[in-house]
Copies of this chain bind each other. A is one copy, B any other.
Amino acid sequence: MANMKRRVPSPGISRRNLLSTLAALPVLSVPLLTVQAQAQTDPLPSWNEGATKQAITDFVARVTRQGGPDFVPSAERIATFDNDGTLWVEHPMYVQLAFALDRVKALAPLHPEWNDKQPFKAVLEGDTKTLAESGEHGLLQLVMATHAGMTTEEFQKIVTDWLATARDPKLKRPYTELSYQPMIELLAYLRANGFKTFIVSGGGVEFMRPWTERVYGVPPEQVIGSSIKTKFQMRDGRPELFRLPEVNFIDDGAGKPVGINEFIGRRPIAAFGNSDGDLEMLQWTTMSGGVRLGMIVHHTDAIREYAYDRDTSFGRLDKALDAAATNHWLVVDMKNDWKPIFAFE
Set of chain B residues within 8 Å of A283, measured between Cβ atoms: 234, 239
In angstroms, Cα B17 to Cα A22, docked, is: 11
Residue in chain B with minimal CB distance to A249: B262
Separation of A288 and B239 alpha carbons in the complex (Å)? 8
CA distance A25 to B231 in the complex (A): 49
Inter-chain contact A262/B21, CB cutoff 8 Å: no
Judge if A293 is at the interface, Cβ distance under 8 Å.
no
Number of residues of chain A lying within 8 A (CB) of chain B: 46
Of B22, B205, B264, which contacts A221 at CB under 8 A?
Answer: B264
A330 to chain B, nearest CB (A): 19
Bound-complex Cα distance A264 to B257 (A): 18
Q: Of residues A13, A238, A254, A262, which shows the largest number of chain B Cβ atoms within 10 Å of its Cβ?
A: A262
Confirm or deny: A24 has a beta carbon within 8 angstroms of a beta carbon on chain B. yes
Q: Which of B221, B234, B257, B288 interacts with A265 by CB under 8 Å?
A: B221
Q: Is there an interface contact between B219 and A75, defined as CB atoms closer than 8 Å?
A: yes
Given contacts A196-B221, A209-B265, A239-B287, contact A257 B280 (CB under 8 A): no
Judge whether A262 and B232 touch: CB under 8 Å.
no
The CA-CA distance from A248 to B22 in the complex, in Å, is 47
CB closest chain-B residue, reference A219:
B75
How far apart are A226's CB and chain B's nearest CB, in angstroms? 11
Judged by a CB distance under 8 angstroms, whether A93 is at the interface is: no
**A24 surroundings in chain B (CB, below 8 A):** 13, 18
